[in-house]
Amino acid sequence: MTLGTFTGRLLIILVIAAVAVAVWQLTDILVLLFGAVLLSIGLCAAAQSVARHTGISRSLALALVFVLGLCVFGAALWVFGSSISAQMGSVIEAAPTGYKLFMTWMTGNPYGQHVLDQVRGANMVDATGWATSMVTSIGVLLTRGLGYAVIALFVAIYLSAEPERDRHLCLRLVPPLQRPTAETLFNVTGGVLQRWLVGQIVVMMTIGMLTGIGLWLMGIDAAFALGLMGGLLCFIPFVGAILAAIPATLVALTQGPGYAISVIAMYVGVHFVEGNFITPMVQAEATSFPPVLAILSTVAFSILFGPLGVLLAAPLTLVLIAAVEIIYVQHGLGEAPELDAGADFSIIEGP
């Protein structure tokens, strides 16, 4: 091997290593880009639907969808903004008190004390302070998430304005012989994510309304804000339901143990209905995956990507499933994929 050949290969290795390090350091940006792609899929689907039913051009339909969405969001914020803000303040104030009441009950119960004794580092003196810091941390994460959402929205608008150009640029990075496979993978993941996103929006709206109405009928304070929180957190499968039930239970505990038990029973009932009736009706089988996989993927992506990974764990898992079906099952094993998203799954000839 000549010195020039060795130097060239060494430079290639160094460039690959530098790119790998840069990608790892920019994981937040990459996950944010994936969120923008997911949002752009929703915008494109809405624009296509409007263009198909009205006969206007796609670009005009996209602008109409964006403006209409801003108007609806602004109207909702103007009508319900002050109420939501006041109720969220009540939740932040009541949650530490409810947590303190819960820890007091646990310490007064022999079985509860035994459980707490088994937990290393359980600090019973500063329970209220711990709960307050937890609520503050959640508030910081929500503020950061809101900033990321604004950035993702603008990126999604540019992506949805000219999707074919961006798709073409991505395909040019793939070797020519493998481009048909990459194009099929794009079609499959786009169809799966679009169907999942539409179904998830329906599920979130349904859960939010059922939860808010249930809390309001039981006389729980800040029912509207807690219902909104429950609907939004349902974006995270399984884990989101638990996260939504915790603040509602703590708020109900300040009104009495009976209220807290009723709230827990209500959340269990709502999510039983959601898991057995609502989700099967609005989510196609192609966009569903086993609960164990959903939980493990949420934990795995939270370790890899932090809070953004938790939020986007479900669509990221669907993309991985589609990639395995197309690249490994279809091309590696030569079998037809079971994932159906309306795309052509015929075996693509290639090396």
Whether 224 is covered by a domain: the verdict is yes
Query: Which residue ranges of the chain lie beneath pLDDT 50?
Result: 120-132, 134, 285-286, 340-351
Q: What is the pLDDT of residue 115?
A: 63
Whole-number Å distance between alpha carbons of 23 and 15: 12
Q: Tell me if the pTM is above 0.85.
A: no
In a domain, 14, yes or no: no
Asked if residue 147 is part of any domain, the answer here is yes
Contacts of 250 (CB under 8 A, 6+ apart): 94, 95, 97, 98, 99, 102, 131
| Number of structural domains found in the chain | 1
Q: Domain for residue 20, yes or no?
A: no
In a domain, 161, yes or no: yes
Structure tokens of 201? 């929006």
> Which pLDDT score, from 0 to 100, does residue 128 have?
45
Residue 312 identity: L
Q: 239-253 vs 58-108: helix axis angle to the nearest 10? A: 50
Domain region containing 43: 28-166+177-332
13 in a structural domain: no
Per-residue pLDDT, 339 = 58
Q: Is residue 218 part of a domain?
A: yes
340 inside domain: no
The DSSP letter of residue 126 is: T
Helices (H), 162-282: 163-172, 179-217, 223-233, 239-253, 257-273, 279-282
* Cβ–Cβ < 8 Å for 91, 247: yes
CB 244 within 8 A of CB 267: yes
Amino acid at 251: V
Tokens found for residue 313: 């764990």
Q: What is the pLDDT of residue 56?
A: 87
Q: Alpha-carbon distance 330 to 340, whole Å?
A: 13
**Which tens digit of pLDDT belongs to each residue from 193-218?**
888 888 888 888 888 899 989 999 98
CA distances from 47 to 39, 58, 59, 203 (A): 12, 6, 8, 21
The answer to whether 36 and 155 have CB atoms below 8 angstroms apart is: yes
